[in-house]
Amino acid sequence: MKLKSLLIASAMMLAPASVMAADLTIGFSQIGSESGWRAAETTVTKQEAEKRGIDLKFADAQQKQENQIKAIRSFIAQDVDAILLAPVVATGWDEVLEEAKDAEIPVLLLDRTVDASEDLYLTAVTSDLVHEGEVAGKWLVEEMAGKPCNVVELQGTTGSSPAIDRKKGFEQGIAGHDNLKIIRSQTGDFTRSQGKVVMESFLKAEGGANICALYAHNDDMAVGAIQAIKEAGLKPGQDIKIVSIDSVPDIHLAMAAGEANATIELTPNMAGPALDALEAYLSSGTTPPKWIQTESRLYTLKDDNQAVYEAKKGLGY
Ligand code: AHR
């Protein structure tokens, strides 16, 4: 039995969770800072660690999987107690996760899933990414009430679980409603700048009058697209309906101005439930479920979006 296992075993008998947390060193491999939501997740994770007295080693991968793999190997070499991983893409993790498993270091996934065997990670804290897309699709079905509507889609990072699942969910949400047609779909890499560039190309290719709605896999791309729509002389939110995901403060500001129509909330606090699960695991051997699901909620123009903006802007965004 390795020393770490012995410590966990004795902690299971002796130490309360709070004592354990103060002694923990945890590595966090973050994707980067592509969106307002991602920046908030980083802030909240650091706050959650500090609150619990955890020594958090933070590595920003600048959107590259190879950097995340390097960071995980470095955390293993430092013999950390656990690793938090927000995986940029879904595939290609087996080898490095095996290495963490061999070193008896639990890995907890934050906000995105991986295509790997479940025994390679302790738990995944994510929203239901398919459901988010489905809620967006159903919202548009209701909004259009049978009227014909050509939809353009801004996808998230290619190969990432939210891009795959949110696309699938939206298609499920509009299935059977032939008045709604996705006429263009392209990645905007979850960034504001790419959202703008790709929306400009949609508008150029189709002409504004042929586009009735935009579905963006995150709010930042929607905010970039709003700029492109305005520059094309159109009214976002009216000439082109906009539904997106995250519920960052800026989209609520746009909604308060009538320039976006709906968003689905994704909490940036993935670390809280992950660290609770880790502490219970280390202190009493409680094995968490493989999936800890966070809540999703739809905001529309019926909500007081100015108030939501005011309430959210301090919360790590
Ligand atoms: O994985 C969650 C997604 O990643 C968020 O919706 C998006 O803003 C971020 O980049």
d(CA 52, CA 139): 39
Pairing of strands 241-246, 262-266: parallel
Does residue 250 line the site of ligand 1, with CB under 6 A? no
Q: Are residues 123 and 140 in the same domain?
A: no
236 pLDDT higher than 70: yes
What is the pLDDT averaged over residues 86-108?
98
Closest CA to 242 of 202, 208, 214, 206: 214
Q: Are residues 43 and 106 in the same domain?
A: yes
Give the number of the atom of ligand 1 that is nearest the alpha carbon of residue 219: 8
Q: Is residue 256 part of a domain?
A: yes
Give the number of the atom of ligand 1 that is nearest the alpha carbon of residue 160: 1
Which range of residues forms the domain containing residue 42? Answer: 3-127+268-286
The pLDDT confidence band at residue 16, using thresholds 50, 70 and 90, is: very low
pLDDT at 15: 47
Pairing of strands 213-216, 262-266: unpaired
211 pLDDT higher than 60: yes
Q: Are residues 310 and 190 in the same domain?
A: yes
* Total structural domains within the chain: 2
| Residue owning the nearest CA to atom 7 of ligand 1 | 218
C-alpha 93 to ligand 1 mean position (Å): 19
The pLDDT confidence band at residue 201, using thresholds 50, 70 and 90, is: very high
Give the number of the atom of ligand 1 that is nearest the alpha carbon of residue 86: 1
The pLDDT confidence band at residue 6, using thresholds 50, 70 and 90, is: very low
The pLDDT confidence band at residue 17, using thresholds 50, 70 and 90, is: very low
Does residue 35 line the site of ligand 1, with CB under 6 A? yes
Q: Are residues 63 and 117 in the same domain?
A: yes
Q: Are residues 193 and 306 in the same domain?
A: yes
Closest CA to 151 of 298, 261, 231: 261
C-alpha 147 to ligand 1 mean position (Å): 31
What is the pLDDT averaged over residues 205-219?
97
What is the pLDDT averaged over residues 11-17?
47
Does residue 112 line the site of ligand 1, with CB under 6 A? yes
Does residue 83 line the site of ligand 1, with CB under 6 A? no
pLDDT at 314: 81
| Residue owning the nearest CA to atom 3 of ligand 1 | 162
pLDDT at 20: 57
Q: Are residues 85 and 149 in the same domain?
A: no
Better-scored residue on pLDDT, 20 or 293: 293
pLDDT at 21: 67
The pLDDT confidence band at residue 315, using thresholds 50, 70 and 90, is: confident
Give the number of the atom of ligand 1 that is nearest the alpha carbon of residue 157: 10
Q: Are residues 36 and 89 in the same domain?
A: yes
Mean pLDDT estimate for the chain:
94
Q: Are residues 22 and 66 in the same domain?
A: yes
Q: Are residues 50 and 193 in the same domain?
A: no
d(CA 143, CA 138): 9
d(CA 254, CA 251): 5
What is the pLDDT averaged over residues 174-189?
98
Give the number of the atom of ligand 1 that is nearest the alpha carbon of residue 190: 10
What is the pLDDT averaged over residues 238-266?
98
pLDDT at 285: 96
pTM, to two decimals = 0.94
From 30, 38, 248, give the residue whose CB has the most ligand 1 atoms within 8 Å, as the site to mutate.
38
* Backbone φ and ψ of 211, nearest 5°: -110, 125
